[in-house]
Amino acid sequence: MKIAVINFEKPDGMARTIIDGLCAMAKEGSVDFRLSSKFLYDLPLEDAVLSRGDFIAFARSADRIFLIGNDKYGYDTTLAEEIDRFGKTVCVDGSEVGKNRRYDFTIQKGIIDGTYDGQGTVDRELLSKCHRYFRREKPYSDGIIALPFGIESRYMQSYKEGTPKDIDFVCIFGQDEYPLLRRFVREALETYCKDNGFTCATERTKTPEEFYKLLARAKVGVSVGGGGFDTMRFWEILGNNCLMLTETIDIYPRDSKRLKYERIIEFQNLFDFDAELKKMGAFLRSGYADLDLKPEYERIVGDHSTKARVEEILRASA
C-alpha cells in the first residue's frame, strides 16, 4: 500500500505516533510511505522525504493520503489542494485546547457546535472535504473518529522482559502548572513514600532516555493529563509494563472498552488519588510479587502500538 503523508517539520506528538507506526509497517514490507517535508524526529526518514514535485506525483498514485496537522502548526492545505484527491485524504488532527481550558465547558460546547474558533478547534472545512477526519482530543462532533497517541517504539527502548522493577513509583511531568492536579499529586506521592518506606522518582530527567530508564524499572507510573485529556505520559507508562494510577480517562468515547485493563486504576481528584495510592501501596507489599504482567502487557502493546494506530486509520478509511 502506498501512503503519502503531508506533514510539518516540527516534532509534534500526533505526527510522531503516525510516522513511527508507518516506519514499523514499512519495515515489515506492508506499506510504502513518503513525506512531504523533513520531520524532526530520530527515525531513518531521509529516503522518505521527497521534493515537492516528486511528492505530488507519488501522492496522485497513492492509496491513501494522510494530512497531519493541528491548530498550532496548521495544515498544508495548499499542497493537499494541488494534489486534489480529497476522496483519498484523511485528516489527522492532533490539536488540544491547552492549559486548563479542557475543563471549560463553554469551550467544549463551542467545539461541538462549531462556534468556537480558538486553540483546539475542529477544522470544519477539512472535516467536510476529507474522506475521514481523525482527532486526538475530545470533544468529538459528528463525523469525527477518536485517534489518541499510541505507544511509540522509543518509549520501550530501555524495557526488556525481566527488567528488574526496583522503583516503586515514577511520577514525572514536563510541566505541572496545567493542571495543578499534576503538582499536587506529585507532592502527595512524595509525602506518602517518605512516610511509608516506598521509593519514588519525581525529579525531572535531563533527557527522555533517562526518563525511559526510570520507567522501565518502575512498578507503578502516575499519569495526569496536561493541555489535553490525552497525554504521552499515559502511553509511556503502559509501554514500560507498569501498573498505572491515572486521572479519570477521558480519551475514547464514554462507552468504549478500549482502555479497560486490570493494571489501570483511575482517580477523579486528589482525595481519590490519596485513597487509591494507599491501596496500591498495600498491594505492592502483599500481592505484586505474584503478579504476572506479561499477558496483559502483550495485549496492550498489540492494541495500542503506533502500528495499531495506523492500521485503525486504514480500516476506518477503507
CATH code (residue 44): 3.40.50
Q: Are residues 222 and 101 part of one domain?
A: no
250 and 298 in a single domain? The answer is yes
Beta bridge partner(s), residue 94: none
Task: Specify if 310 maps to a domain.
Answer: no
Regarding whether 190 and 165 lie in a shared domain, the answer is yes
Beta bridge partners of 69: 93
What would the pLDDT profile of 94-129 be if each residue is shown by its tens digit? 999 999 999 999 999 999 999 999 999 999 999 999
Least Cα distance to 35 among 48, 17, 54 occurs for: 48
Residues 11, 99, single domain; the answer is yes
Domain final position from 126, 147, 168: 147
* Residue 176, in any domain of the structure: yes
Let me know if residue 290 belongs to a domain.
yes
pLDDT at 185 over 90: yes
Mean pLDDT in the chain? 96
* Average pLDDT value for residue range 286-309: 97
User: Do 168 and 122 have their domain in common?
Assistant: no
Kindly state the average pLDDT of the residues 4-18. 93
Using an 8 Å Cβ cutoff, are 32 and 2 in contact?
yes
Residue 309 counted as domain residue: no
What range defines the domain where residue 260 resides? 153-304
- Is the domain of 134 the same as that of 237? no
Q: Are residues 81 and 138 in the same domain?
A: yes
Torsion, CA 285, CA 290, CA 294, CA 299, rounded to 10: -80
Contact 18, 92 (CB under 8 A): yes
Residue 161 is placed in which grid cell? 522482559
- CATH code for the domain in which residue 278 is found: 3.40.50.2000
Q: Say how far residue 255 (Cα) sits from the centre of its chain.
A: 20
Q: What type of residue sits at position 218?
A: A
**The last residue of a domain, from among 147, 171, 193:** 147
Percent of the chain scored above 70 by pLDDT?
100
Residue 183 CB-density burial (10 A; 0-12 exposed, 13-18 middle, 19+ buried)? middle
CA distance 193 to 56: 56
Cα separation, 233 vs 307, in Å, equals: 18
> Do 161 and 136 belong to one domain?
no
Q: How confident is the model at residue 41 (pLDDT cuts 50, 70, 90)?
A: confident
User: Looking at the 3D structure of the chain, how many domains does it have?
Assistant: 2
Q: What is the pLDDT of residues 52-95, one digit of tens each?
A: 999 999 999 999 999 999 988 899 999 999 999 999 999 999 99
Q: Which of 114, 147, 180 is the last residue of a domain?
A: 147
Res. 156: pLDDT tops 90: yes
Q: What is the mean pLDDT of residues 181-192?
A: 98
* pLDDT score at 73: 87
Question: Over 90: is that where the pLDDT of 44 sits?
Answer: no
Please report whether residue 315 resides in a domain.
Answer: no
Residues 136 and 191 in one domain: no
Based on the domain organization, do 105 and 202 belong to the same domain? no
Q: 104 with 235, same domain?
A: no
Q: How far is 135 from 123, CA to CA, in rounded Å?
A: 10
Is the domain of 47 the same as that of 125?
yes
pLDDT of residue 143: 93
Give the per-residue pLDDT at 173: 97
